[in-house]
Structure 1
Amino acid sequence: MPSKRVSEMSELEKRRYSLSARMFHTVILISVILFLVSLVISYVMYAVVIEENPSLENLLNLQDTARMGFLLQYALVMLIVTVILAVILTWHLQRTVVKPINSLTEAAEKYMRHEYDEETGASYFSDLDIRTGDEIEHLGDTMSKMENDMRGYLSNLAQVTAEKERIGTELNLATQIQNSMLPTFFPPFPDRTEFDLFADMKPAKEVGGDFYDFFFIDEEHLGLVIADVSGKGVPAALFMMMSKMLVKNYAMTGLPPAEVLNRANASICENNKNKMFVTVWFGVLDITTGHIKAANAGHEYPMIRKPGGQFEIFKDKHGFVLGAMKKKRYTEYEFDVEPGGTLFVYTDGAAEAANAGNELFGTGRMLETLNSDPDALPETLLKNMTEAINRFVGDAPQFDDLTMLCIKYNGKTKTGEQI
Structure 2
Amino acid sequence: MGLLKSIAQIKPSLKPEVKENTPSFEDQKVTYHEDGRSTSRLCQGRSENLQASLSAIYYKFENNCKKEEEEQVKLKQPYVTELKGKRTLMLTKGEELQREKEKLEEKETKVEKLRSDIVNVRRSPQDYGIPVERKSSSKFWIGTILLAFLSVYIFIFYISTSYSAFFRTFDPSTELFGGMFYPKALQEAYDAGALELGFIIFIPFVFFGLGYLIHVFMHKQSIANVFKVILLFITTFIFDALLAYLIDEKLYNLNKTFEDPEFSISVAFSSPSFWVIIFAGFVSYIIWGLVFDIVMKEHADKDKIENYVISLENEIKNLIQIISKQNNTIESLEEIIRAKKVRCSELEDIIDGFILPIRNYKALSSEYLQGWQECITSEIVLGPDQTKDYLNECIKVYNNHIAELDLNVDDYQNKVYTKTL
- Structure 1-normalised TM-score? 0.24
State the structure with bigger RCO (CA 8 A, min sep 6), 1 or 2: 2
- Structure 2-normalised TM-score? 0.24
Structure with the largest fraction of strand: 1
Structure with the largest fraction of helix: 2
- Of structures 1 and 2, the larger Rg is shown by 2
